[in-house]
Amino acid sequence: MVAEQVEMKKSGPGAARDGPGLSILVGKAKEVIQQAIVDPLTYLANWGRIYSLWPVHLETACCSIEFGAVSGPRFDCERYGILEAFGSLRQCDLVVVHGTVTRKMAPRLRWIYDQMPEPKYCIAMGACSITGGVYFDSYNVLPGVDQVVPVDVYVPGCPPRPEELIDAFLLLQDKIRKQKIR
Amino acid sequence: MSIPAEAGLYTQAVDDDKLTVSIGPQHPGAGHFRFTITVEGDTIVDAVPDPGYVHRGAEKQTEYRNYLQSIPMLERSSLTDVTNIIMPYSMAAEELMGIEIPPRAKYLRMIMSENQRILSHLYWMAIQGIFLGHSTSFMWPMGDREMFIDLGQILGGARVTYSFAIPGGVRNDLPEEFKGRAIKTFNHFERRLVDYERIFYNNPLFLKRTQGVGVLPRKEAISLGVVGQTLRASNVKSDVRIDEPYNFYKEMDFEVPSFDTCDTWARCMVHLIEMRQSMKIMRQCLDKMPSGPVRAKLSPQQRTIVGEAYTRIEAARGAMSFHIISDGSTKPYRVKISVPSMRNLIALPRLLIGSHVADMPAIYWSLDYWPVEADK
Amino acid sequence: MSAPPAKTELRQEEKAILEALSSKLGSRITVAYSKPNRIKIIVSPIDLIEVATCARDDLHFDQCANVTGTDFPKDKQIEVTYHLGSIEGAGLRRIILAIACRVPSATPELPSLIEVYPSVNYHEREQAEMLGLVFKGHPNLSRFLLPEDWNDIPPMLKAYRLPGRLEGE
């Protein structure tokens, strides 16, 4: 196992994507320098947004337990800047829809989303918020939250493992990194 | 509460000073639940709960699925307490199908049920940390909870949703590494519980915020029909595991705590003691478990007799019961769940009225009201 | 409670309850079944409050654990079952007494047991909105779990089909 990894590292630009390699580090450094020189303001604004995504404390359904586990010491989303700001939703820029959205909760969710300042992002966590999940045939469940708020990242799972949710945060960060500021 | 005369202050009512505050679904102190409180000065004079934000119609959905298919759906009604919410369902289904599960399955169900109880209480303790503004009390229980999630993962296969106690027995047998890992976890956590008591519970701020706050006298607790920690903290030693023993609880040696102070502090202490007792039960189960099959043979489209069954167990939050009416087909005719959270909700207005606004988070969370479970 | 239904040996507490019920209430109740730890009696809506008061005061069933409403469209009736438990009764903690009464679907009205058991408040309210029942004497039968703008028939009636399911499923 160790010998293989050393082999991969040695093979230069054609190296495999898995495993830390010098080529990947060089690639990333090139990207950063390019962005910082070509469009420094965009780069700086995006950098600020990526590393301080504050989610609103709105629990929609049972996935909120796994979100609590992600904030816990083992998975620790705070190292990515994801800090649940308990003050007010006017200072948050991320809404994580934890699971099922019922017809009673949907207008409140939209109301909260509207009150958040721009730029704002939304992660649909769990199968229930993507298509209705295991409650697809219920009379009180929306078949997917993207009818109510625009979703940036979908995380499948019921509930998604905390590692999947962290992957979602990283995907969202990638998405923000590529945004242009108008 | 009136200001004592020696303070040298006097109060004067200014107009009709009532303010209605909606503590809604987006609130650090509310969860997926809304309640409206009417406040006069600093005292709450009225509290109206408004549940239904997570009402997913699980009872109606069971009529369209056969007994086995409903299990994953019913589980998610109470994600902190999955085994305990499907166990009475499985017991009722078995009664209607006319089968008896093997004894090893009962022991495995007990192990998973007690593991679940600890997980639920640790989650309760973590969120209580958030409500009381004590972030260490959020981090430590969440960290220790991961140890028990690992145990559940070894036995059940998933992090939180195991679908373990299905009608007929349990899904799979105990892997070999479970016992060693479990004993290590219990030894470590028993030492941690001593720390919890010292740091979180014997904390002067915690004592000030919970002692004498939200008192529910014994007579009222019985007539309001509350269950679980709320009942046991009001000086009633009642627990379905000793009132109507199921599985093999009759052969287990454990205590059921109860306090006579009837206040928020007692409700919090009951959680702590129950965690210790759960580990004691799990140790005994691991020693006493006989060998044998873990599941009775059932077809996925198993037919039932015409009749009804009412089963109850002690879930993490209190007595949970299922009432299943069947018409002889493979799908139930009516499933009614009686969840402990809904039974305790009636105590919320009763305890909030007359108390200070600042006591609201402590009282609300000590009732251990889980909105997802109550709304089904 | 995983005993198969064939065993019906009753212990002395259940027999005492059955005797007390028949002596105090006689012909106004019908015993539907009596299994170990579970007894179910059927009453008519007019006698409901009296039977419940007798169960609370004389038989020491001081808790109401559950209220179930079931729609039987074939009989054009809705059955409401109250499951009563006991805390203070000696040796009665393991027993659940179920009191059932049937009301016609066209006029589903029955008296509320809130004066006898204050704990039925939210249970009756939930069944009222799920099945369209009217509990006379209940202080507040407004919307509880369903959304405020629910404008369809009560969902737990058999006539209501789940929207996400095809015909015949």
**Ramachandran angles phi, psi of C39, nearest 5°:** -130, 135
Work out whether the CA dihedral B148, B153, B155, B160 comes out positive or negative: positive
Q: How do residues B133-188 score in pLDDT, each as one tens digit?
A: 888 888 999 999 999 999 999 998 888 888 898 888 898 888 989 999 999 999 99
Contacts of C13 in chain B (CB under 8 A): none
Whether residue A13 lies inside any domain: the answer is no
CA nearest to B333 within chain C: C70
ipTM of this predicted structure: 0.89
Q: How are strands ordered across the β-sheet holding C63-72?
A: C30-35, C38-43, C96-104, C77-85, C63-72
What's the CA dihedral at B200, B205, B210, B211 to 10 degrees? 110
Whether A57 sits inside 8 A of B28 (CB atoms) is: yes
Per-residue H/E/C for chain C: CCCCCCCCCCCHHHHHHHHHHHHHHHHHCEEEEEECCEEEEEECHHHHHHHHHHHHHCCCCCEEEEEEEEEECCCCEEEEEEEEECCCCCCCCCCEEEEEEEEECCCCEEECCCCCCHHHHHHHHHHHHHHCCEEECCCCCCCCCCCCCCCCCCCCCCCCCCCCCCCCC
Nearest-Cα residue of chain C relative to residue A108:
C147
A60 lies in the same domain as A46: no
Residue C104 tokens read as 């016609």
- Mutation target among C150, C157, C166 for the A interface, most CBs of A within 10 A: C150
**Facing A140 at nearest CB: one of C147, C148, C160:** C147
Q: For chain B, which chains pass the contact test of at least 3 CB pairs under 8 Å?
A: A, C
Distance from CA of C130 to the nearest CA of A (A): 12
Average pLDDT score over residue span C141-158: 86
Residue A45 inside a domain? The answer is yes
pLDDT for B119 = 92
DSSP annotation string for A74-111: TT-GGGGT-----S-GGG--EEEEES--BTTHHHHHHH
The nearest alpha carbon in chain B to C116 belongs to: B223
Whole-angstrom distance, CA of residue C130 vs CA of residue C146:
8
Whole-angstrom distance, CA of residue C9 vs CA of residue A85: 60
Q: Is the same domain home to A82 and A168?
A: yes
> C34: which strand partners?
C39
Q: Which two tokens stand for residue B329?
A: 């087909």
CA atoms within 13 A on the CB side of C99: 25
Residue identified by tokens 């230069």 is A12
- Whether residues A100 and A31 share a domain: the answer is no
Give the angle B280-B282-B284 at the CA atoms, nearest 5°. Answer: 75
Contacts of B32 in chain A (CB under 8 A): 59-61, 64, 105
Comparing alpha-carbon positions, the chain C residue that sits nearest to A143 is C164
Half-sphere exposure of A72 (CA within 13 A, CB side): 27
d(CA C113, CA C128): 13
Angle at the Cα of C126 from the Cα atoms of C121 and C131, rounded to 5 degrees: 130
pLDDT digits (tens, 9 = 90+) for C59-84: 888 889 899 999 998 989 999 999 99
Residues A72, A27 within the same domain: no
In chain B, the percentage of residues whose pLDDT exceeds 90 is: 27
Q: How far apart are CA B238 and CA B248, in angstroms?
A: 18
On chain B, the residues whose CB falls within 8 A of the CB of C145 are 51-52, 55, 375-376
Calculate how close chain B gets to A78, using CA atoms only, in Å: 12
On the question of pLDDT at B294 being above 70, the answer is yes
On whether both A63 and A89 belong to a single domain, the answer is yes
pLDDT tens digits for range C34-58: 888 888 999 988 888 888 888 888 8
For residue A139, list chain C residues with Cβ-Cβ distance below 8 A.
Answer: 152, 155, 160, 162-163
Kindly give, in sequence order, each residue whose CB lies less than 8 Å from that of residue C148, ignoring residues fewer than 6 positions away.
A104
Max mean pLDDT among A26-30, B16-20, B286-290 falls in B286-290
Q: Kindly state the tokens that stand for C30.
A: 């019908």
Best mutation target among B23, B27, B75, B79 (most A Cβ atoms within 10 Å) is B79
Query: Which chain B residue shows the shortest CA-CA distance from C62?
Result: B223
pLDDT at residue A14 tops 60: no
State the average pLDDT over residues B121-143: 88
Residue of B nearest to A75 (CA): B143
b/e burial code for range A53-87 (CB count within 10 A of at least 16 → b): bbbbbbbbbbbbbbbbbbbbeebebeebebebbee
The pLDDT score that the predictor gives to residue C169 is 62
The neighbouring-strand residues paired with B315 are B318
Number of independent structural domains in chain A: 2
Over 50: is that where the pLDDT of B28 sits? yes
Cα–Cα distance between A175 and A94 in angstroms, integer?
13
| pLDDT of residue A1 exceeding 50 | no
Contact across the interface for B32 and A64, Cβ inside 8 Å: yes
Q: What Cα–Cα distance (Å) separates residue A66 from each residue in A4, A71, B18, B339?
A: 35, 9, 39, 22
Which pLDDT value is given to residue B52?
Answer: 86
Q: According to the model, what pLDDT value does residue B311 have?
A: 92
pLDDT band at B5 (very low <50, low <70, confident <90, very high): low
Residue B122 CA: distances (Å) to CA of A147, B142, B335: 35, 7, 30
Same domain as A74, residue A163 = yes
Q: Are residues A29 and A93 in the same domain?
A: no
Give domain status of residue A118, yes or no.
yes
A94 and A112 both lie in a single domain: yes
Same domain as A81, residue A160? yes
Lowest pLDDT segment from B28-37, B226-235, B361-370: B28-37
Give the pLDDT score at A48. 83
User: B10-14, B112-116, B368-372: lowest mean pLDDT where?
Assistant: B10-14
Strand B306-315 to B43-50 pairing:
unpaired
Number of B/C CB contacts below 8 angstroms equals 112
For position A93, which CATH number holds?
Answer: 3.40.50.12280
Domain range for A87: 54-176
Q: How far apart are CA A154 and CA A128, in angstroms?
A: 11
The predicted model gives B216-223 an average pLDDT of: 88
The interaxial angle of helices A40-50 and A22-38, nearest 10 deg, is: 120
- The verdict on A44 and A84 lying in the same domain is no
Identify whether residues A47 and A87 lie together within a single domain: no
Subunit contact C163:A139, Cβ cutoff 8 A:
yes
Contact C147 A103 (CB under 8 A): yes
Instruction: Give the per-residue pLDDT at B300.
Output: 76
A161 and A97 in a common domain: yes
By Cβ distance, the residue of C1, C96, C155 closest to B91 is: C1
C48 inside 8 A of chain B by CB: no
Question: Does residue A116 fall inside a structural domain?
Answer: yes
Q: How far apart are CA B372 and CA B25, in angstroms?
A: 12
Which residue from A60, A131, A134, A68 is spatially nearest to A99, judged by alpha carbons?
A60
Q: Which of B222, B243, B325 sits opposite C94 (nearest CB)?
A: B243
Looking at the partner chain, which of C33, C93, C126 has a beta carbon nearest the beta carbon of B243? C93
The answer to whether residue A98 sits within a structural domain is: yes
Tell me what pLDDT residue A59 has: 78
> Does the pLDDT value for residue B40 go beyond 70?
yes
pLDDT in tens, B255-285: 898 888 888 999 999 999 999 999 999 999 9
Q: How high is the pLDDT of residue A153? A: 92
pLDDT tens digits, A21-45: 777 788 777 777 776 777 778 878 8
> pTM value?
0.88
What average pLDDT does chain B have? Answer: 87
Within a domain: A8: no
- Domains of chain C by range and CATH? 12-136 (3.30.460.80)
Please, are residues B167 and B298 in contact by the beta-carbon 8 Å criterion? yes
The structural domains of chain B, ordered by start, are: 58-375 (1.10.645.10)
Give CA separation, C90 vs A135, C60, C62, C94, C116, in Å: 44, 9, 12, 10, 20
Nearest CA in chain C to A135: C164
Question: How would residue B21 be classed by pLDDT, with cut points 50, 70 and 90?
Answer: confident
pLDDT level of residue B203 (50, 70, 90 thresholds)? confident
Is B285:B105 a contact under the CB 8 Å cutoff?
A: no
* Chain C partners within 8 Å of A103 (Cβ): 147, 149
Burial class (CB in 10 A: 0-12, 13-18, 19+), B179: middle
Q: A73 in contact with B at a CB cutoff of 8 Å?
A: yes
A76 is a domain residue: yes
Average pLDDT over residues C21-45: 85
